[in-house]
Amino acid sequence: MNIKPIRTAEDHRAALKEIEMLMTSEMNTPEGDRLDVLATLVEAYEAKHFPMELADPVDAIKFAMEQKGLTPKDLEPMIGRLNRVYEILSGKRRLTLPMIWRLHEGLGIPAEALIKPPSRDGVAV
């Protein structure tokens, strides 16, 4: 199979190019196995060199609402009365642990994103 570690930006570009060529490969074939291994190596390289920060909790909630076509009223079972929902969405009130659990279960937002301290002017507090 002759695959080597991805250590440089050039290695990364070459691996991405090869992955693109192998995208139509069938599973459990030599090409499919090569695609699987290369994808794993690229994922590891990108996680190390391009780490992604978790979204702000309010931004994560708003994104989930947009993706699911929800209104603030739809969040009442997870957050509480509508005025509480608006307080959360405006950043005037922080999420409680029970709210975090219900939002995680109800909207599928990663709990890690919901427990992150909210940002103020782009700086986590």
Q: Which long-range contacts (CB under 8 A, 24 or more apart) does 32-36 make?
A: 33/1, 34/1, 34/3
Query: Which among 34, 77, 60, 35 is positioned nearest to 116, based on CA atoms?
Result: 60
Which residue shows structure tokens 């050039």? Answer: 10
Assign residue 22 a region (left: φ > 0; alpha: ψ between -120 and 50; beta: otherwise): alpha
Q: Which residue has the tokens 């490969």?
A: 25
Mean pLDDT (the chain) is: 90
Task: Say what the pTM is.
Answer: 0.57
If you average pLDDT over residues 13-41, what whole number do you get?
Answer: 93
pLDDT digits (tens, 9 = 90+) for 35-64: 999 999 999 999 888 887 777 899 999 999
